[in-house]
Structure 1
C-alpha cells in the first residue's frame, strides 16, 4: 500500500477486508491522518448494517450468508465466478464522499443514493484527494457535461475516482467500465439532485470513487450513463 492510495482503504479497513500487512500499515497511517480517522468514524455501524443485508440477488440458489460474509469469503477464496466478481465490485464501490458514505447501485433492492459535491475551501475527501494527486484522463461529454477519471490497477480489479460537472438533475447515473470484449460492469451509482453539479447556482463538481472487477489492462473505456441509457461522458482507458 503506497502513501498515495492509503486514503482509499478506509472502507476496506472498516469492513475487515485488508490483509494483515495492509491492515497494520493502514493502522499506522491512521495515527497521523486526521481525515482518515474522521472518515473511519463516519463508517461506524456500516459493517453491522451490511451484516443485516441479505445476499445479493443471483439466479442461482440463494446463500444464507449476509453481504459482509460474502465479501470476506470472496476475498479469501478469490473465486473467478460471476457472483464473486460482482461481490468484489461491490466492495470496491463502497465510496466516501462529502457528507457520508455512498454504496453504489450494486446493492440489490436499493435506489440510487443522494451524494454531495465537494467544493473548495475544505478538507478534501478520499475521492477528491485521489483525483487531485493523480493524472486525470479527460472525458468527452455531451450537453455541457465535463469530467474525467483517475484510475489505478488493484489486486481486485480497477479503482477509479470520478470528477463530474455540468450536469443538472434530477437524474440517476452510473459509472460503467467497458472491457475490450464489450463486457459492461457498474462501478458505482448515484442520483443527481435538481440543482446539479458544476452548474450555475451549484458550482461544485461531484467527486466519488468506483470499482470494477475488470483488470485495468482489459478495460477499453469508461462511461457515465443515466438510468434511461443516455451517455453523458466517455473516458478512454
Structure 2
C-alpha cells in the first residue's frame, strides 16, 4: 500500500469497510500522518450517522439511507484492489443524501477536505495543508468576503483547494470553474451553516474541488450561491 493510496482510505476506515490487512496497514499509517488523523476525527461523526441507520439486512426491499451504506460495502468489496479514492466520493454522496441534498464538505480527485460542521473545525486537514503549502491566487469578493484558490494540474484535469472567509449563512454554495470560452462546470458544493465561515470568531472554510479541464483551459474560479450571487472571483 503506497502512501498516496493510504491517504484515500480515511473514509473507508471510518465506515469499517477495509479488509483486515488494509485496516492494520492504515492504522500503522495513522501513527505518522497528522492530516489523516485529523480527517478521521472529522469523518467519525458521519460514520456514526450512517451506521446508526440500522443493521444492513439482505432483504430486497431495503430503502433510504441504509442502502447507501450497503452500496458502499458492496462497492468496496468489488474495488478494494483498485484506487480507493472512489470510496471518499461515496462517503460524500452518502452525506449529501443524509443532509437533504447539500454536502457539508466533499473532495474530488484526492483526499477529502476538512469538514466544518456547525462552525467547528478540527485540526489541519488535507485541503488546508495543500492550500497553505501552495501559492494562492487571491480573489475579489463581495462585501466582506475574502479568499483564494491554490490549484495544480493533474492527469485527469485540475485539482484545487479553496479558502473562503467572511461568509454568513445559511447559504448553499458551489465552486465553479469558468473556461476560457465561457463554459461553466461545478467543482464542488457545500452548505454554509448559520454561524458562517471566517466571521465572529468562526474558522474559514477549506474545500477541495476538481475539474476535468486542465489549468490552461480555465479562465477563473467563482464561488456562487444557489440564488446566483457571486461571492468570490479568482482569476488565474
TM-score by length of 2: 0.61
Give the secondary structure class of the aligned counterpart of 1:221: strand
Question: Does 2:171 match 1:175?
Answer: no
Instruction: Compute the RMSD of aligned alpha carbons.
Output: 4.8
Which residues of structure 1 form unaligned runs of 5+? 16-25, 55-65, 74-87, 96-101
Tell me the distance in 1 between the aligned counterparts of 2:152 and 2:35.
Answer: 22
Based on CA coordinates, which of the two structures has the bigger radius of gyration? Answer: 2
Aligned to 1:131: 131
Question: Does 2:216 match 1:217?
Answer: yes
- For residues 108-127 of structure 1, the aligned pairs below 5 Å read 110-113=101-104, 115=117, 123-127=123-127
Tell me the distance in 2 between the aligned counterparts of 1:70 and 1:216.
Answer: 32
The 3 A distance-change label for structure 1 pair 146 and 106 is farther
The 3 A distance-change label for structure 1 pair 169 and 39 is closer
1:106/1:186 contact within 8 Å kept: no
Aligned to 1:202: 201
Tell me the distance in 2 between the aligned counterparts of 1:216 and 1:92.
Answer: 26
Give the secondary structure class of the aligned counterpart of 1:232: strand
Which residues of structure 2 form unaligned runs of 5+? 16-25, 54-64, 79-85, 105-115
2:10/2:36 contact within 8 Å kept: no
Give the secondary structure class of the aligned counterpart of 1:127: helix
The 3 A distance-change label for structure 1 pair 69 and 174 is farther
Tell me the distance in 2 between the aligned counterparts of 1:154 and 1:93.
Answer: 22
Length, aligned pairs only? 204
The farther-off stretch of 147-156 and 33-42 is: 33-42
Tell me the distance in 2 between the aligned counterparts of 1:52 and 1:8.
Answer: 26
Tell me the distance in 2 between the aligned counterparts of 1:190 and 1:115.
Answer: 11
Kindly state the Cα deviation for residue 31 of structure 1 after the two structures are TM-superposed: 5.2
Kindly state the Cα deviation for residue 70 of structure 1 after the two structures are TM-superposed: 8.8
Kindly state the Cα deviation for residue 207 of structure 1 after the two structures are TM-superposed: 1.3
Aligned to 1:226: 225
1:118/1:124 contact within 8 Å kept: no
2:38/2:125 contact within 8 Å kept: no
